[in-house]
């Protein structure tokens, strides 16, 4: 237990460093975008590729993934039933809400948590793939269908190829391919990739802390859609993952900790990007990202402390 909590403490310490340098003005709020892009487009793909390429695929595609997907489906259904059937939200509003309540930050925050707390960064690879290759395109199809009348129709080809323009998806797929084929690149090639990959965790965490130091300049709201999405994402999804893992699949140890901890990851910033792009529920997405990000840290620390 002490090792896991200590590892999580190291992550928090680096995130706090990012927060402090932001408060002191060493780095500015606009620098967060630069660091996030460095992590998203360069360092994290390198880490995912090297980790997945060397991983045992049976450990990646395991009951841990099944548990995460089941917990994700549960919160999605709950939000859909409440928002669409009871509150009569539009399809676009309900779709953004579903993403806000279940689409986890598997890239910038999930990779550090999996690598340092769980000891296997490859655990987030199938989650990244599912979200980007399956979950997001389905959401895009609904959102695109709703805006066809505005003259901004997006082609089916664009919807289908969009996931493969995501560097995390490409890196994960390449890693899977290399692992399946048993291909091992020579050290002269892997060493620079490993060097870049080593920057993924600290850069992502410093960017994360820096984003929190910027405060809440953008307006947030606590309307019922936001409260429901944040409650589902922060509390219900990890609790559901725990119940499924512990009482349905009878998992213990790391197999129990992993899906519970990964389910507690906050809403990904991509959800806000999607909301802005489709001009739907931007306040909901922005509020869910910010509030779940702030609340997820104590929740994940508690989970690590109790289940380690």
Q: Which residues contact 286 (CB under 8 A, 6 or more apart)?
A: 218, 219, 220, 272, 275
Taking the C-alpha atoms of residue 293 and residue 105, their distance in angstroms, rounded to an integer, is 9
User: What contacts 91, CB < 8 A, 6 or more positions away?
Assistant: 84, 142, 145, 146
Residue 25, class by beta-carbon neighbours within 10 Å (0-12 exposed, 13-18 middle, 19+ buried)? exposed
Cβ neighbours around 141 below 10 Å, total: 15
* pLDDT (0 to 100) of residue 109: 83
Q: Where are the alpha helices (DSSP H) in the chain?
A: 2-23, 31-38, 44-54, 57-60, 63-80, 91-102, 111-112, 125-129, 136-146, 156-161, 167-181, 187-197, 200-213, 224-231, 237-243, 254-263, 270-278, 282-307
Q: pTM of the predicted model, to two decimals?
A: 0.78
CA distances from 79 to 76, 99, 226, 245 (A): 5, 10, 11, 22
**pLDDT beyond 70 at 66:** yes
Q: Is the pLDDT of residue 53 over 60?
A: yes
The tens digit of pLDDT for each residue in 214-235 reads: 765 555 677 899 999 999 999 9
Comparing 6-15, 132-141, 172-181, 251-260, the range with the smallest average pLDDT is 6-15
Show the domains of the chain with their CATH numbers: 2-307 (1.20.1530)
Give the whole-angstrom CA distance, residue 99 versus residue 215: 23
Mean pLDDT of 96-119: 88
Residues 211, 216, 217, 218, CA torsion sign = positive
Q: Which residues of 32-64 are buried (b: 16+ CB within 10 A; e: fewer)?
A: beebbebbbebbbbbbbbbbbbebeeeebebbb
Residues forming a β-bridge with 267: 104
Tens-place pLDDT, residues 68-107:
999 999 999 999 999 999 999 999 999 999 999 999 988 7
pLDDT for 17 equals: 94
Q: Please state, in angstroms and rounded to a whole number, the distance separating the CA atoms of residues 284 and 298.
A: 22
Q: CA 112, 118, 123, 127 torsion: positive or negative?
A: negative
**For residue 10, what pLDDT is reported?**
79
Residues 273-285: tens digit of each pLDDT? 788 777 888 889 8
Q: Exposed, middle or buried: residue 267 (CB in 10 Å: 0-12, 13-18, 19+)?
A: buried
Amino acid 132: pLDDT = 79
């Amino acid at each position: 237990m002490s090792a896991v909590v200590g590892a999580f403490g190291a992550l928090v310490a680096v995130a706090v460093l990012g927060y402090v340098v932001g408060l002191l003005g060493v780095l500015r709020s606009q620098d967060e975008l630069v660091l996030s892009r460095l992590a998203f487009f360069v360092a994290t793909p390198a880490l995912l590729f090297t980790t997945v390429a060397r991983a045992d695929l049976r450990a990646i595609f395991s009951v841990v993934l099944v548990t995460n997907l089941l917990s994700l489906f549960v919160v999605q259904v709950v939000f859909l039933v409440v928002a669409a059937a009871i509150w009569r939200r539009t399809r676009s509003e309900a779709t953004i809400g579903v993403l806000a309540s279940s689409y986890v930050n598997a890239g910038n925050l999930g990779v550090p948590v999996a690598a340092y707390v769980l000891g296997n960064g490859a655990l987030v690879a199938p989650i990244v793939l599912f979200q980007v290759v399956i979950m997001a395109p389905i959401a895009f199809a609904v959102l695109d269908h709703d805006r066809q009348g505005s003259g901004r129709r997006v082609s089916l080809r664009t919807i289908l190829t969009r996931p493969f323009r995501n560097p995390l998806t490409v890196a994960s797929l390449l890693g899977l391919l290399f692992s399946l084929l048993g291909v091992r690149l020579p050290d002269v090639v892997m060493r620079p990739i490993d060097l870049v990959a080593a920057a993924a965790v600290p850069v992502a965490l410093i960017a994360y802390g820096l984003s929190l130091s910027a405060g809440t300049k953008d307006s947030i709201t606590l309307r019922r859609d936001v409260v429901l999405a944040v409650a589902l994402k922060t509390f219900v999804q990890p609790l559901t993952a725990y119940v499924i893992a512990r009482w349905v699949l009878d998992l213990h140890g790391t197999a129990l900790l992993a899906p519970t901890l990964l389910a507690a990851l906050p809403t990904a910033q991509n959800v806000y990007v999607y909301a802005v792009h489709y001009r739907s529920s931007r306040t909901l997405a922005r509020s869910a990202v910010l509030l779940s990000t702030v609340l997820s840290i104590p929740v994940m620390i508690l989970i690590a402390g109790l289940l380690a």
